[in-house]
Amino acid sequence: MADEENAYSFTTAATRHITLANLPQGGMPMWRGGRLPEVTLAYECWGELSAAADNAVLIFTGLSPSAHAASSPQDQTPGWWEYMIGPGKAIDTDRFFVVCANSLGGCYGSTGPVSINPETGQSYGADFPDVTVEDIASSGYYLMRELGVEKIHAAVGSSMGGMSSIAYAMQYPGKIDFLVSISAATRALPLTIALRSLQREIIRSDPAWNGGHYTDDTRPVSGMTLARKLGLVSYRAADEWNSKFDRSRLPPENLTGKRFEREFEIENYLEYNAQKFVASFDPNSYLYLSRAMDWFDIAEHGGTVSEGMSKLDVNKALVVGVTTDILFPSRQQREIADVMRSTGTEVDYVEIDSVNGHDAFLIDDQHFSPVVKKFLDESVA
Amino acid sequence: MADEENAYSFTTAATRHITLANLPQGGMPMWRGGRLPEVTLAYECWGELSAAADNAVLIFTGLSPSAHAASSPQDQTPGWWEYMIGPGKAIDTDRFFVVCANSLGGCYGSTGPVSINPETGQSYGADFPDVTVEDIASSGYYLMRELGVEKIHAAVGSSMGGMSSIAYAMQYPGKIDFLVSISAATRALPLTIALRSLQREIIRSDPAWNGGHYTDDTRPVSGMTLARKLGLVSYRAADEWNSKFDRSRLPPENLTGKRFEREFEIENYLEYNAQKFVASFDPNSYLYLSRAMDWFDIAEHGGTVSEGMSKLDVNKALVVGVTTDILFPSRQQREIADVMRSTGTEVDYVEIDSVNGHDAFLIDDQHFSPVVKKFLDESVA
């Protein structure tokens, strides 16, 4: 695959690539128009599909993760949701056949802007068609059918992945039994649109972005670093940083002495984490997936949020919010639960009092594992 | 004055310039080292100084305002705090002699990075010495003495200006009777440091910044625009934008059709307001004053916040917080009030339930005027 040759493929011994063979004639139609003639998804899986093919759990990721959600015998490095997925864990791989794909539009092996357009032989770059949450959900649907699953037992997603889980259930009623949405939204609101739009504009303002046409060697590193720092600020919570960093200064030997340069530990934390991310993430993928979240609006499925949500046909949903999340505030999680209930879906709503803000689902094993475990255990009881 | 010749002077018929003649030998010593051989302050004033010189109210501004806080016969354009200052208003110019200066380090006529260094004949640029909140307070002290006021009746400040008011009272005990601090902080915490540091890094990353050496024609406009947008995001509140913008789109005729460009009204709002600001504000001033807020820490005045605050010697303080402020959250306002009380200062604490976030003091006449009016009326009762 062309995808395996780019700088970001992050493929490991556990990563499988599948070129979807069951797409409609002419390729995958995109929600906002356009068409992808060929779609490859990088995915990993854990556990065994049952003979009845009725135990599949599909994980939808946030903006940045790869398919490597958990370790496996083929790749023992911890995945991005290691605490959640495994034998006996909340998403129990002794019981479920668990699948996680890198998002369509991503840069870790799935078809996205860094992929080669088979019709031109060149990377798509900024000529990739618009990507929406609906498209990410659809690619997951095609993937599961390729894997022999007609109806998934559950979709589980956090942040953008929570939106994707809901989109899956809206678009494929009757093809999913249980739904888990963590720190997502029925529709993007102005503050989050503003924060994401600004990240995108920072990347686009870096002359190296060059309208989306750059090479591995000429990527807009400065813009990506600044954009990621803004992302990081929005992902965490004020109190967590107060107790972690307070007003700690860098040790004197790490100060450059130059005016305006890093002086506080919090500034160093942002620099370190942004650099780590920027080294492996494609700027165009960031732009496409970030914009996908702005566009998401359940009301586009029928005229109102209630009309859209009424398309759901699941046995039960779990909706989880975090008290300290400023990007997808718990108010928006309660709204998801309320609309689901008012449109006939049975819902467990749990608000977690975690210090970790929007990123809590990635970190806060202690609070999240029992909530997800209880829901999935009951789903097969 | 050299200051009157630069692009940002914003001097009007009401703006006066005073070159401080009462500085210590050799110029104004700066809190973090360095010295300004000459300090000019641009200020406006309203009302009449009493014969006993006991009715002066000194307004300290946030990062960006000019001295034009209110209209006057000399300049009838509304000032940035028009609703608050005037005959019969909360800060009653029939009763008080009200003074507002552009901050030291600012770009609206007071000595700052755009000013000419008398020792070199060139603009200071990024060679201006470090500016702190303490220095801004000191320059206010020197100004009031030039104007014949030994002891001010009150200092009133919001945001950075609230910090400056507290710094004035700490640095000049016995030289102030009443203190008003609105949406300020005892010390900058990591989230606000992160947000400001990122704004500064965005400016510094614009190649046009050029290490702080640029001309009016080569200013880092792109970096300033992006930085200001981030500032704007932090100044307002999510719910205000939800009701104002929701998911409104630009009219089709205003769309470029280019991928990733502005599409939502909230994106347009940020663009319009950032452009308006950037046209008149000096990037280096932004860097200096932004950093000043990071550095502010009352604990530097004696070892702990309590030790610092115990230096206050005022009759009474008013501390005001806003429920929706994410930059200087109401929790930090309660802390100011609590520490003042525990160190022997009488305090009125008021938490205002405004939708306008950190910017509420600039906008929310209805909530703010009665609170400030009551306090100042009682101060002369």
| Domain stops at, among B240, B267, B289 | B289
Confidence band for A5, pLDDT divided at 50, 70 and 90: very low
A293-313 in b/e form (b: 16+ CB < 10 A) is: bbbbbbebbeeebbebbbebe
The CATH number assigned to the domain holding B21 equals 3.40.50.1820
Binary contact (B222, A205; C-beta < 8 A)? yes
Measured CA to CA, the distance from residue A196 to residue A192 in angstroms comes to 6
Confidence band for A7, pLDDT divided at 50, 70 and 90: very low
Check if B33 contacts A (Cβ < 8 Å). Answer: no
Is B127 a catalytic site residue? no
B47: left (phi over 0), alpha (psi -120 to 50) or beta: left
What was the pLDDT predicted at B93? 98
What was the pLDDT predicted at A6? 41
- Asked whether residue A203 falls in the same domain as residue A261, the answer is yes
- Asked whether residue A111 falls in the same domain as residue A230, the answer is no
pTM for the whole structure:
0.95
- Asked whether residue B28 falls in the same domain as residue B13, the answer is yes
Q: Per-residue pLDDT tens for B78-122?
A: 999 999 999 999 999 999 999 999 999 999 999 999 999 988 999
Confidence band for A280, pLDDT divided at 50, 70 and 90: very high
Q: Is A217 helix (H, G, I), strand (E, B) or coil?
A: helix
Measured CA to CA, the distance from residue A317 to residue A177 in angstroms comes to 9
Lookup: tokens for B218: 């080569």
Confidence band for A10, pLDDT divided at 50, 70 and 90: low
| Domain stops at, among B263, B289, B315 | B289
- Asked whether residue A284 falls in the same domain as residue A371, the answer is no
Q: What is the DSSP letter of B265?
A: H
Is A68 a catalytic site residue? no
Size (chain A), residues = 381
> Sign of the C-alpha dihedral, residues A194, A195, A198, A204?
negative
Q: Per-residue pLDDT tens for B30-40?
A: 999 999 999 99
- Asked whether residue B372 falls in the same domain as residue B258, the answer is no
| Interval A22-30 mean pLDDT | 94
Measured CA to CA, the distance from residue B107 to residue A175 in angstroms comes to 62
- Asked whether residue A84 falls in the same domain as residue A136, the answer is yes
Q: Which is the catalytic residue, given A66, A123, A159, A310?
A: A159
> How many domains does chain B divide into?
2
Check if B201 contacts A (Cβ < 8 Å). Answer: yes
Give the CA diameter of chain B: 66
B108: nearest Cα among B41, B199, B30: B41
- Asked whether residue B155 falls in the same domain as residue B52, the answer is yes
A19-48 in b/e form (b: 16+ CB < 10 A) is: ebeebeeebbebbeeeebebbbbbbbbbbe
CB contact residues (below 8 A), chain A span 222-241, against chain B: 222, 226, 229-230, 233, 238, 241
- Asked whether residue B10 falls in the same domain as residue B93, the answer is yes
What was the pLDDT predicted at B1? 30
**Which domain does B49 fall in, by range?**
2-188+297-379
Confidence band for B4, pLDDT divided at 50, 70 and 90: very low
CB contact residues (below 8 A), chain B span 329-368, against chain A: 329
Using an 8 Å CB-CB cutoff, list chain A residues near B246: 189-190
- Does A255 have pLDDT greater than 80? yes
Q: Where are the beta strands (DSSP E) in A132-205?
A: 152-158, 176-182
Check if B259 contacts A (Cβ < 8 Å). Answer: yes
Confidence band for A1, pLDDT divided at 50, 70 and 90: very low
- β pairing state of A347-352 and A35-36: unpaired
A284: closest chain B residue by CA = B260
Binary contact (A291, B260; C-beta < 8 A)? yes
What was the pLDDT predicted at A257? 83
| Domain stops at, among A259, A289, A319 | A289
Is A213 a catalytic site residue? no
Q: Is A12 helix (H, G, I), strand (E, B) or coil?
A: coil
Count of beta carbons in the 10 Å neighbourhood of residue A88? 9
